[in-house]
Structure 1
Amino acid sequence: MKTIFTIPALFGLTMGLWAQEKPSDSLEGKKIVLDEVLVSAIRVTKESPVTFSNLGKDQVKPRNLGQDIPILMNFLPSVVTTSDAGAGIGYTSIRVRGSDNTRVNVTINGIPYNDAESHGSFWVNMPDFASSTENLQLQRGVGTSTNGSGAFGASLNILTDAISKTAYGQISSSIGSFNTLKNNIKFSTGLLNEHVEISGRLSRINSDGYVDRAASSLDSYFLQGAYKDDNTLIKALLFGGHEVTYQAWNGINADSLRTNRTYNSAGEYTDENGDTQYYGNEVDNYKQNHAQLLWNERLTASWSTNIALHYTRGRGFFEQYKEDDDLSTYGIAPAVIDGEDVNTTDLIRRRWLDNHFYGAVFSANYVNKNFNLILGGGWNKYEGGHFGEIIWARFANNTNYRDRYYDNNSSKTDFNFYTKLNYALDERWSLFGDLQYRSVGYKANGEDTGLVDDTFDFFNPKAGLTFDLNQNNNLYFSYAMVHREPNRNDYESGNPRPEQLNDFELGWRYVSSDFQVNSNLYYMKYKDQLVLTGELNDVGAPLRANIGDSYRLGLEIDANLNLGEHFQWQPNLALSTNRNEDFVFERNGTLEELGNTHIAFSPDIVIGNKLNYLPTERIQLSLLTKYVGKQYMGNIDADDSVLDSYSTTDFNVQYEINIDSFVKNIVFSALVNNMFNAKYVSNGYFGSFDYDDTTSATGTTTGFYSGYYPQAGTNFLLGATVSF
């Protein structure tokens, strides 16, 4: 009999999942899959005309030895990852289809995670969060309507730990290169009286990093209380982290890349004897705490609702030693020393963020035989304080300790409402529609931004068609339009325009017991895209600029093949063309028309490969390879802006010992990263500057500079997890 995969499973689950359980026990007790209803409004299945990949806890577990979530996602299609410290711990980032992390919409249990002002996702604020993640879904392209900023490269939605039916305790430790040490403990009470569960985690990660002094000291926690009955699921969550990370955002120049790859200029100064020293507390120090209240209610056989309240509190600073800095920068009058004016001083400053983010998201789901309707949206507000303090100065004149040399505030409101419908025309054809209205208001008064008081109203329609050829094959086509507001840094260079993207996706999926393949063509047409210029601002944040018309055209293929009883092969390939159209650049005082140029940080080829060997049920060996093609760090195709292609290979082993006593089992893991010791660079920066030149016809000559973030050579992590 032909199997039809249609409604009512468009965004995740049918009502029957309330009673279902996962068919196998994990190391953390038997999980109940009803938690999936909390993200059902923004997730998709293979019957949706959306390109996506899923990554579950069991797939992540063998490599979850301290590295951040972006690094653990490295082998998904079209994904490129990087790490400031070079070893995947500390500040890490992800790009999808060439779009940087400010353009990847991230939600946790359906709640926005991207910083409201910068649009970035700072994974360093949630160390070891992978240990509290049940699964995640990466939707490439625009995807479906979600909460938070618009997705211009991808949407990543994370579901935290599911309810465990049985009680467990767990202790995990790992050690590795660069003095890396991770420890965590987890527990669950299991279901008490078949209704209530309490679970939690504490983690600590320390690492010196590959780059000099790029050390990280990271603490985090996760606490969950859950209640369920036949029609209700309520979860209350508290989680957060505290990171102290030595700054490594300066990168190195080409000479250092050849001679001293681990050099870090952060904190460097010259003492009174003329010797080079490094300030010991040139760190980023930030705390972030999250509270979520999630409530799903099944009202009838057809209707269910989700509502979530959330609050995030963030505060912290980065500290810098500044040598011979201008007193006027800090509003300090010149000091008089021995009768002479002194206009510069050595000083130590802290630049603070103190912010609140709160709001609500909601959805209602109606399911019947032929269609699935979802009504949803959210309202969120951000309030941020930005201020700078001087905590020491060699010549301070009449200033006091912790005087503020700037103090400004910003606020942002974000409201969206969406309607999604999947309608089954017959056993083979289904239609998908998705309409979203989004209103954003942003106010700021910083010296870097100027006075900002902008309101943006966006209408984002999406539509698609899915056709089931048979029980194994389906085809889909979708179109999506999305708009996106500028971020805080975009205002530094003037009055940026909002962006518009038209995304076309055409895909084919094949699914059988031993072979699954997903392939898709995409065409992403941008208007006023805010592309990375390659330059950084004074705090290491990438700068962007509107560039008019641009596009991304690509092919993505990923597969999963069972090769007999013991081998599994998971390859993926992404080929793309990413171009700025009719790009204009001012060089030597004259505008030049450069034609179609490469979009910065957009490789034309990305390949991932994973080969698993399971000789027994308790042993898994994996060989993982990543290839990333040549990239340009700027948009003018300059030779000095090239990041060379690179390939890395990791080796991963997991071995499980079942004991079945007080200690249930012990799982040993080993990970060798970059086992062939490739010397590669995954990120960098590139910029231009003009200087006076009397020999030039215009009196001006344009020069260029570049910087690089080298990644670690061969390094390892070893871990053990004991479950009770």
Structure 2
Amino acid sequence: MRVFKKLMMLGLFLLATQTIFSQSKITGTVIDGDFNGPLPGANVFVKGTKDGATTGFDGKFEFTTTMTSGEIVVSYLGFETVVIPFSGSSNLGNVSLKSNENQLESVVLIGKGVIDVAKDRKTPVAVSTIKATEIQEKLGNQEFPEMLVNTPSVYATKSGGGFGDSRINIRGFDQRNIAVMINGVPVNDMENGAVYWSNWAGLSDVTSAMQVQRGLGSSKLAISSVGGTINVITRTSEMKQGGVVSVGVANDDYLKTQASYSTGKMENGFSTSILLSRTQGNMFADGTKFEGHNYFIAFGYELNEKHNFQFTFTGAPQWHNQRSFANTIATYLQYGDPVNKIPNTRYNSDWGYLNGREYSWVRNFYHKPVASLNWDFTINDKMKLTTVLYGSWGRGGGTGNIGKSPFSYKTVDGLVPFDDFVAFNRGQYNPATGQSVTPITGAQVSQNANGDYQTSRSVGFTRRASINSHDWYGGVINLNTKLTDELTLDFGIDARTYKGYHFRNINDRLGADVYLDNRDINNPDRLLYETYEATPSWNPITNIKNQEKIEYNNNGYVRWYGAFTQLEYATDKLSAFIQGAVSQQGFSREDTFIYLESDPLYKTDFENILGGNIKGGANYNIDEKNNVFANAGYYSKQPFFNAVYRNNQSVVADDLTNEKILGIEAGYGFNSPYFNAKLNLYYTSWKDRYQRSSDSDSSNRGGYYDINKLNETHSGVELELNAKPINKLNINAMFSYGMWDYNGNAEFNRFDQNNTLLGNGDIYLDKVKVGDAAQMTASFGAGYEVLKGLKVDANYRFVDKLYASIDPARFLTEDNKGTLELPNYGLMDAGISYKMLVGKDKDKSVSLRFNMNNVLNEIYIAESRTNIFADDLVNSSNPAAGTYASNNRLYNGVADANQVFFGFGRTWNFTLRYQF
């Protein structure tokens, strides 16, 4: 027995010894192949196992594996993945990753035939890429579009400053004419092309990379990328096993918590990734409290080498109080320091207190979950079929006032006296208005038979909600065939269907007991008692059909059918493509309020409009450092829904025509280990454009202009520079100069808020500057690694040739003064990061990041809704009153009657992140 025990102990010892000695130690350093510097955050693992590590700030990695041989996979977002065989313990030395051949290929794990990612020195378009690490570090409490402000020809502002209310322009085109894609699927509203970033507030949390492709873009779909394409690539279920927990704090009580976990691809082929986050606080402007959530769920299944399935479901329910009204500069000065002319840039005229709590006329609430199912089918080594099916269910809207005009009533601090409005609605004396409701009965109904006070459209103060919800379903199928080693053919179809729900309901009667609505021709003089919360519903398919509706109730139907094809030729030296797409877009309108059910216009037939595009381009690599490219394209773009059915009625416009866009571009690139440069020249002609603009005349508040036959020309030059003179120093710079002008004159129709035609005529815009964006931008930034794991960075951005948005009322005569140019400004941002590797195997990390935006606390005008010049008369009917300049009514050279939004002052944010 003793002999047997000794033999057993010896056997266990030998087995343990064998296990110990069978472990392999893998070490090395991952470097940026373009700059020969360390690449922190790269993933290194043994293929087919969970053994691996993440590189530190010096690019070094070290881990052990029980495998005695196999393949090491080295990947980093935005770089080409490298696979290295190994046998036993190995020092892999310097592993160089290149980004110029397969840009972002390592993260596009699914839908490669749908996600059209531009590649440096191959795809002939102007492109800039923002990687996930940069988004995680620098976004903080900024808005998602602001990550692009240091790329050429991009102008992004926070607009009124509410949570998610930012907007972006590219090459002078607003975001309704910029194609926004998520994993290759278009997300612009199918009725008006709009993108509401508050609906995508959680997108930054799940983004693997973001590309802005200026101009034509590389998407094969028949999308209206007039100014460019923003292509957002999200994480997938096949991410490396592990998770992240983070917390962020910032100015104005901002707090964000986030957690995520990914299983990685398991032995049975399944994979899962989940992310949850919550954000709350106040924005920089007064009265802009908010709360937002974000969820992301991804499931993957790799059946075999031929079939890969990915399902994702993501949404970001949120509510936020807004600052929607652009006050005059004089008003900002009034509530700031008028003596020294220091404006209160936080001032917001849309809010006040109700029963001691913050309350706002304007509050946005929305939940827009998106579900998608991707199927990649590798038919053979030369043919692949990619399919994505998706659905989106938007529910929510925004609140505002209705009834008696409240805008002339303010407290001494400039706030809205909501408690006084409640008293007024209850028939009590109102200190704000100096009056009370006169109790009357009958058809005028300020009081019903029971003595309960009511409100209506003209009597009392009421907060209503404008609901803009939708059901959206679509699919994209692409067949990719490699005809030869050099030629690749793509062919696919793109189908979408959309129903938009548009109506108003009562959110808060502010003390009244009932609301009278007489706008429904089929159900006149209704007494309504229901109110509806201005908070997002977590139910993505909640029924809204049975809600009590006021003011208007119409549905918009849009159907889209498209087909596309692309032929691509690629060698080491030359790559070229030609692409064509055609689409039919159908529009139908249903209106249950202004038409009787028996009227044929109650619901119209579909108005089908044909459109499409053709484009092509080529890139030539002169040598390893120099390349040139050129592209050209032509779009025939269908108009938006409100151009088909104008004046908010169900009659198709007589002069309906497609918008016509011609784009031409050329570029040069230089790549070396220490310096990269990109130079682009572009020209875009945009004809037969339709636009609806708000009427700035206070006597027609809520009115608008319909503008037809707008023609514009956008041309310019763009330069991007990146340098790494030493391993620890990165330098980047950008410059862009645009010449964006209107060509010829346009026509207008002017309406009041009830859609009554007030007049028409010509708008004289020939050679007038296109407004609402800066035509010259420049930036310079640098990042330096002070110590191992510790780095600092700073960036300065300069904005010039910034013009106000077009105010149609200022261009009704030929002798107009053009577009108002706003003062230039410069902003400095700075940050500091520290990353520490932790855990027994140093395979986990703790990261800290501090950002400060607008470090110098610059006061600047970000946008203007009006075009009032310094030498304009203060009172046009009394020239003797003088001009704004002669009356000392200027702020930084700008007339103080202009309605503007100031940019944010100094803000900060801090994030603590643990990755395991």
* TM-score tier after normalising by the smaller chain length: 0.7 to 0.9
Aligned to 2:735: 573
Q: CA RMSD in A?
A: 3.8
Aligned to 2:469: 354
Aligned to 1:23: 75
Structure-1 separation of matches of 2:207 and 2:594: 37
Letter in 1 for 2:349: S
User: What is the SS of the residue equivalent to 1:58?
Assistant: helix
Higher mean alpha-carbon deviation, 49-58 vs 583-592, is at 583-592
Aligned to 1:8: none
Aligned to 1:487: 640
The yes-or-no answer on 1:289 pairing with 2:369 is yes
The structural deviation recorded for 1:623 is 0.8
Structure-2 separation of matches of 1:640 and 1:709: 17
**Which deviations, in whole Å up to 9, do the C-alpha atoms of 1:296-347 show, x marking residues without a partner?**
12211111121001011111132234351699xxxx9522569999952222
Check conservation: 1:135, 1:159, Cα contact below 8 A.
yes
Aligned to 1:664: 844
The structural deviation recorded for 1:112 is 1.6
Aligned to 2:561: 415
User: What is the SS of the residue equivalent to 1:257?
Assistant: helix
Structure-2 change in CA distance of 1:204 and 1:355 (3 Å): same
**Structure 1, unpaired ranges of 5+:** 1-16, 697-702
Aligned to 2:174: 100
Structure-2 change in CA distance of 1:532 and 1:515 (3 Å): farther
Aligned to 1:86: 161
**Which deviations, in whole Å up to 9, do the C-alpha atoms of 1:69-125 show, x marking residues without a partner?**
2122222221111114538x4312211111111111111111121111121111211
Q: How many residues align?
A: 687
Structure-1 separation of matches of 2:199 and 2:594: 24
**Which of 529, 548, 551 is the matching residue for 1:401?**
529
Check conservation: 1:80, 1:94, Cα contact below 8 A.
yes
User: What is the SS of the residue equivalent to 1:131?
Assistant: helix
Higher mean alpha-carbon deviation, 103-112 vs 235-244, is at 103-112
Structure-2 separation of matches of 1:288 and 1:431: 38
User: What is the SS of the residue equivalent to 2:368?
Assistant: strand
Check conservation: 1:55, 1:137, Cα contact below 8 A.
yes
Aligned to 2:23: none
Structure-2 separation of matches of 1:175 and 1:386: 37
**Which deviations, in whole Å up to 9, do the C-alpha atoms of 1:240-288 show, x marking residues without a partner?**
01110102111221212333322212246999xxxx9974574111111
User: What is the SS of the residue equivalent to 1:264?
Assistant: coil
User: What is the SS of the residue equivalent to 1:563?
Assistant: strand
Structure-2 separation of matches of 1:384 and 1:79: 30
Q: Which has the larger radius of gyration?
A: 2
**Which of 684, 687, 697 is the matching residue for 1:524?**
684
Aligned to 1:12: none
Structure-1 separation of matches of 2:184 and 2:131: 17
Write the mapping of 1:240-389 to structure 2, written as runs, cut at 5 A: 240-258=315-333, 259=336, 260-267=344-351, 279-280=359-360, 282-324=362-404, 334-335=444-445, 343-367=458-482, 368-389=484-505
Letter in 2 for 1:334: Q
User: What is the SS of the residue equivalent to 1:118?
Assistant: coil
**Which of 177, 182, 196 is the matching residue for 2:251?**
177
The yes-or-no answer on 1:644 pairing with 2:823 is yes
Write the mapping of 1:523-602 to structure 2, written as runs, cut at 5 A: 523-530=683-690, 533=693, 545-583=707-745, 593=764, 595-602=766-773
Higher RCO, Cα 8 Å, sep 6+ = 1
User: What is the SS of the residue equivalent to 2:767?
Assistant: strand
**Which deviations, in whole Å up to 9, do the C-alpha atoms of 1:330-386 show, x marking residues without a partner?**
xx9522569999952222312212311111111111223121211123101111111
Structure-2 change in CA distance of 1:207 and 1:391 (3 Å): closer
Higher mean alpha-carbon deviation, 632-641 vs 297-306, is at 632-641
**Which deviations, in whole Å up to 9, do the C-alpha atoms of 1:637-670 show, x marking residues without a partner?**
7578433222111001111011124982110000
User: What is the SS of the residue equivalent to 2:866?
Assistant: strand
User: What is the SS of the residue equivalent to 2:774?
Assistant: coil
Check conservation: 2:486, 2:569, Cα contact below 8 A.
yes
Structure-2 separation of matches of 1:247 and 1:549: 33
TM value normalised by structure 2 = 0.69
Structure-2 separation of matches of 1:603 and 1:448: 42
Letter in 1 for 2:678: N
**Which deviations, in whole Å up to 9, do the C-alpha atoms of 1:501-521 show, x marking residues without a partner?**
100001111222222211110
Structure-1 separation of matches of 2:763 and 2:361: 45
Higher mean alpha-carbon deviation, 260-269 vs 290-299, is at 260-269
Check conservation: 1:687, 1:704, Cα contact below 8 A.
no
Letter in 1 for 2:615: K
**Which deviations, in whole Å up to 9, do the C-alpha atoms of 1:166-191 show, x marking residues without a partner?**
42121111101111111110111122
Aligned to 1:10: none
Structure-1 separation of matches of 2:817 and 2:260: 50
Higher mean alpha-carbon deviation, 658-667 vs 581-590, is at 581-590
Check conservation: 1:197, 1:226, Cα contact below 8 A.
yes
Aligned to 2:664: 504
The structural deviation recorded for 1:604 is 2.4
Aligned to 1:432: 577
Structure-2 change in CA distance of 1:410 and 1:651 (3 Å): same
Aligned to 1:7: none
Check conservation: 1:357, 1:381, Cα contact below 8 A.
yes
Letter in 2 for 1:374: D
Aligned to 2:299: 225
Identity of aligned residues (%): 19
Structure-2 separation of matches of 1:164 and 1:379: 28
User: What is the SS of the residue equivalent to 2:847?
Assistant: strand
Structure-1 separation of matches of 2:634 and 2:861: 34
**Which of 184, 193, 196 is the matching residue for 2:270?**
196
User: What is the SS of the residue equivalent to 2:192?
Assistant: coil
Structure-1 separation of matches of 2:448 and 2:876: 39
Structure-2 change in CA distance of 1:532 and 1:630 (3 Å): farther
Structure-2 change in CA distance of 1:544 and 1:716 (3 Å): farther
Structure-2 change in CA distance of 1:69 and 1:430 (3 Å): same
Higher mean alpha-carbon deviation, 545-554 vs 714-723, is at 545-554
Aligned to 1:14: none
Structure-1 separation of matches of 2:594 and 2:159: 24
Higher mean alpha-carbon deviation, 636-645 vs 242-251, is at 636-645
Check conservation: 1:86, 1:209, Cα contact below 8 A.
yes
Check conservation: 2:629, 2:667, Cα contact below 8 A.
yes
User: What is the SS of the residue equivalent to 2:369?
Assistant: strand
Higher mean alpha-carbon deviation, 45-54 vs 157-166, is at 157-166
**Structure 2, unpaired ranges of 5+:** 1-46, 49-70, 83-103, 337-343, 407-424, 426-441, 517-525, 531-547, 596-600, 751-758, 869-874, 880-894
Structure-2 separation of matches of 1:54 and 1:315: 32
Structure-2 change in CA distance of 1:50 and 1:693 (3 Å): closer
Structure-2 change in CA distance of 1:257 and 1:361 (3 Å): same
Structure-2 separation of matches of 1:579 and 1:605: 14
Structure-2 change in CA distance of 1:344 and 1:357 (3 Å): same
**Which of 166, 177, 186 is the matching residue for 2:260?**
186
Higher mean alpha-carbon deviation, 487-496 vs 136-145, is at 487-496
More strand by share: 1
Structure-1 separation of matches of 2:818 and 2:238: 55
The yes-or-no answer on 1:681 pairing with 2:861 is yes
Structure-2 separation of matches of 1:569 and 1:542: 47
Structure-1 separation of matches of 2:640 and 2:788: 49
Letter in 1 for 2:804: M
Structure-2 change in CA distance of 1:193 and 1:236 (3 Å): same
Structure-2 separation of matches of 1:170 and 1:244: 26
TM value normalised by structure 1 = 0.86
